Amino acid sequence: MDKSISIQSTEDYGINSAESLRLLRESLIAGEQTTGKVVSVCCGSGCMSSGSEHVRAAFVRGIKDQELEDEITVKKTGCHGFCERGPIVIVGPEKIFYQHVTKEDVPEIISETLIENRVVERLLYEDPVTGQKCFHENDIPFYQKQRRIVLKNCGIIDPTSIEDYIKVDGFQALAKILSQMTPEGVIEEIKLSGLRGRGGAGFPAGIKWETARNAPGEEKYIICNGDEGDPGAFMDRSVMEGDPYSVMEGMMIAGYAVGASQGIIYVRAEYPLAVHHLSTAIAQATDLGLLGHDIMGSGFNFEIKIVKGAGAFVCGEETALIASIEGRSGRPKPKPPFPAIQGLWGKPTVINNVETLANVSRIALNGGKWYSEIGTPTDKGTKIFSLVGKVQNVGLVEVEMGTTLREIIFDIGGGIPGGKRFKAVQTGGPSGGCIPEELLDLPVGYESLAKAGSIIGSGGMLVMDEDTCIVNIARYFLDFAQNESCGQCTPCRLGTKQMFKILRDITRGDGKPGDIEILLELSDAVKQASICGLGMTVPNPVISTIRYFRKEYEEHILERRCRALVCRSLIFYRIKPYRCKACMKCLEACPVGAIIGAKWQVHEIDQSKCIKCGTCMKVCPKRFNAVECVTGRIEGLGDKSE
């Protein structure tokens, strides 16, 4: 590498060598406030929607009013993963964790914590099991079993300040590889680390890079896939919003390894904050000379552009994503050719997921061996899951591979709320399968979940309790699939449609004997005969629920019974005559006037009018408990199929 070719960007701040990066970092750290009084207000999308912007403004105002600006810094950070408890505020130097902070709480935090060094107890998180108040993030069970590698800067740095990123250890990995490693050496490290793609398919990243490196062609591309179309998933969003620099650094390292000088980040347009933070990061890095020509004097050139996607689920599929960037309609193309050989504009292209790329700088800095020791012998590193559904602690969790589902759902997630019983967990988003209670001790990993009929996918984790109807869940996912199919191949376009219709029939009590077999045959055809990963995987929710909960399907079809009391066509509300005290509460509350009765006259529900809203059951006084909800073929209650 010719260091004598100097660059233009050596303004007072520019970085033109690994050494100048080190100097800048040192001066930034030295310039930090000595009081350590920092108020970090989470300004991720979750907390913003619960009003963190106002909280931040209140801090700024309050601190200004008291003329404390020189002592106390207010900074905004990205997501902590615990959005459900937002807005979240961390108050330094002790890093006290406050949850559900409103702007009304701000004066108290300033006077109590920041000035008097006292904790505002009522804003602390309380462990629902032990009742203990938690002072710090690490005291909260939600965080204790997590291992944050990808998310290590999220919630710590200000995602719009490149200086903040440099202060932690930003661009150290880049400096290291540019000054000490060959591109082949970088690929070896990534291979050694065992990093696999986090976007769904789990393809080994090192091999993908190597293929693209060896593919003939001068021009190559690195694409970061930030489409994140799975309903309920927000891990990639949080990373892009909370730590855009790590994604960028990962892309640059990939570019160096592959021999690409252009990077493209494909973000869905519904993620405006991510777009904003990423473009800010790119502009700052360009100003500093960290992007552009001859980066750090190494001769390596790299630039990054952002492309906003219109947000179809299938546009996350790599070939559809490329088509979308090229301005064509987002429909997948058959592989081969693989993008690593013939991708964007026909040039070798590495497409990696946001989370995959965010891992890269950690690996480059600490070595592939370090990473390969995290996780299990077969699955390396960590994975972020978005834990949602019937679980106490909804949020983003990053755990080591090999952590069991039970640990994630019960130790981190705090178990099922309301004393209900766990029923199943759906992993991997709409392409994943449902895993039953018997398999809760399954360690998460690519193969282990595949064996159980599911996938890690992009990391969706939907917890279901006993009040969830499994057939209804399958119907829900197939509804998603049939709408999101690009429609070009017959089995996926029409198969998902028919599967959805059969599932809908079953939930409406119109299932027919033999439907389960037909569902399985259709699933098999869609899986085997479809072109892209969408068709190949969307039957998974159906197949896995039939595999583990076939009985429930049969109950729906043969007995007209929905044990979770969810499928409206299969349930009935009725009043137990011997318990009804004719209080008229339900009669008054029923929105459709379906209840017949009067004072001194036992009430009765007119099934032909009842819309099964459940209001009567809710209003019937506990001590009478006269309304019940029943399911199955019950004499005297409407049975459509007679």
Ligand X SMILES: Cc1cc2nc3c(=O)[nH]c(=O)nc-3n(C[C@H](O)[C@H](O)[C@H](O)COP(=O)(O)O)c2cc1C
User: Which one among 324, 342, 353, 382 touches ligand X, defined by CB under 6 A?
Assistant: 353
Q: How far is the CB of 539 from ligand X (least distance, A)?
A: 13
Distance of alpha carbon 248 from the chain centroid = 19
Q: How far apart are CA 188 and CA 305, in angstroms?
A: 27
Cβ-proximal residues to 345 (8 Å cutoff; 6+ apart), any chain:
219, 221, 326
522 binds, among other proteins, ligand SF4, ligand FES, none (CB under 5 to 8 A by kind): other proteins
User: Which one among 17, 225, 386, 530 touches ligand SF4, defined by CB under 6 A?
Assistant: 530
Q: How far is the CB of 385 from ligand X (least distance, A)?
A: 15
Site string for ligand X, 312-351 (x = CB under 6 A): -xx-xxx--------------------------------x
What is the three-class DSSP state of 247? helix
Kindly state the number of chain residues that form the binding site for other proteins, as judged by CB under 8 A: 35
Site string for ligand FES, 450-489 (x = CB under 6 A): ----------------------------------------
CA-atom Rg of the chain in angstroms: 28
User: Which one among 21, 38, 486, 516 touches ligand SF4, defined by CB under 6 A?
Assistant: 486
389 binds, among other proteins, ligand X, ligand SF4, none (CB under 5 to 8 A by kind): none
Which one of 39-47, 91-99, 168-176, 545-553 is the stretch in contact with ligand FES (CB under 6 A)? 39-47
Q: How far is the CB of 184 from ligand SF4 (least distance, A)?
A: 35
489 binds, among ligand FES, other proteins, ligand X, none (CB under 5 to 8 A by kind): other proteins
User: With respect to ligand FES, which residue has the nearer C-beta, 395 or 541?
Assistant: 395
Four-residue CA torsion sign, 138, 144, 147, 148: negative
Q: Is 248 in the site for ligand FES (CB under 6 A)?
A: no
Cβ-proximal residues to 275 (8 Å cutoff; 6+ apart), any chain:
267, 269, 306, 308
User: With respect to ligand FES, which residue has the nearer C-beta, 82 or 385?
Assistant: 82
User: With respect to ligand X, which residue has the nearer C-beta, 77 or 359?
Assistant: 359
Q: Is 484 in the site for other proteins (CB under 8 A)?
A: yes
Q: How far apart are CA 158 and CA 404, in angstroms?
A: 33
Q: How far is the CB of 20 from ligand SF4 (least distance, A)?
A: 48
Q: How far apart are CA 168 and CA 22, in angstroms?
A: 12
User: Which one among 127, 612, 633, 637 touches ligand SF4, defined by CB under 6 A?
Assistant: 612
Distance of alpha carbon 20 from the chain centroid = 37
415: left (phi over 0), alpha (psi -120 to 50) or beta: left
Q: How far apart are CA 604 and CA 580, in angstroms?
A: 9
H or E element, residue 621: none
- The answer to whether the bond into 93 is cis (omega within 30° of 0) is yes
Q: How far apart are CA 71 and CA 94, in angstroms?
A: 15
Q: Within positions 355 to 394, which residues make up the interface with ligand X, using CB under 6 A? A: 356
Judging by DSSP bridges, how do beta strands 460-465 and 382-389 pair with one another? parallel
596 backbone dihedrals φ, ψ, rounded to 5°: -100, 135
User: Which one among 62, 200, 255, 453 touches ligand X, defined by CB under 6 A?
Assistant: 200
Which one of 53-61, 154-162, 220-228, 297-305 is the stretch in contact with ligand X (CB under 6 A)? 220-228
Q: Is 534 in the site for ligand SF4 (CB under 6 A)?
A: yes
Q: Within positions 554 to 593, which residues make up the interface with ligand SF4, using CB under 6 A? A: 573, 590, 592
Q: How far apart are CA 179 and CA 364, in angstroms?
A: 12
> Nearest Cα to 519, choosing from 561, 485, 471, 567?
471
User: Which one among 197, 297, 348, 539 touches ligand X, defined by CB under 6 A?
Assistant: 197
Q: Is 630 in the site for ligand SF4 (CB under 6 A)?
A: no
User: Which one among 63, 222, 257, 534 touches ligand X, defined by CB under 6 A?
Assistant: 534
DSSP 17: S
Q: Are 500 and 478 in contact (CB under 8 A)?
A: yes
Q: What are the Cα distances from residue 399, in Å, to 198, 321, 362, 394, 448?
A: 13, 29, 16, 15, 16
User: With respect to ligand SF4, which residue has the nearer C-beta, 253 or 519?
Assistant: 519
Lookup: tokens for 392: 């106490």
DSSP 421: P
Q: How far is the CB of 489 from other proteins (least distance, A)?
A: 5
42 binds, among ligand SF4, other proteins, ligand FES, none (CB under 5 to 8 A by kind): ligand FES
564 binds, among ligand X, ligand SF4, other proteins, none (CB under 5 to 8 A by kind): none
117: left (phi over 0), alpha (psi -120 to 50) or beta: left
Q: How far apart are CA 482 and CA 501, in angstroms?
A: 10
Q: What are the Cα distances from residue 403, in Å, to 202, 297, 408, 437, 442?
A: 17, 43, 7, 16, 8
User: Which one among 101, 350, 464, 489 touches ligand SF4, defined by CB under 6 A?
Assistant: 489
Site string for ligand FES, 48-87 (x = CB under 6 A): -------------------------------xxxxx--x-
Task: List contacts with ligand FES (CB under 6 A).
Answer: 42, 44-47, 79-83, 86, 88
Task: List contacts with ligand X (CB under 6 A).
Answer: 197-201, 203, 225, 227-229, 313-314, 316-318, 351-353, 356, 458, 532-534
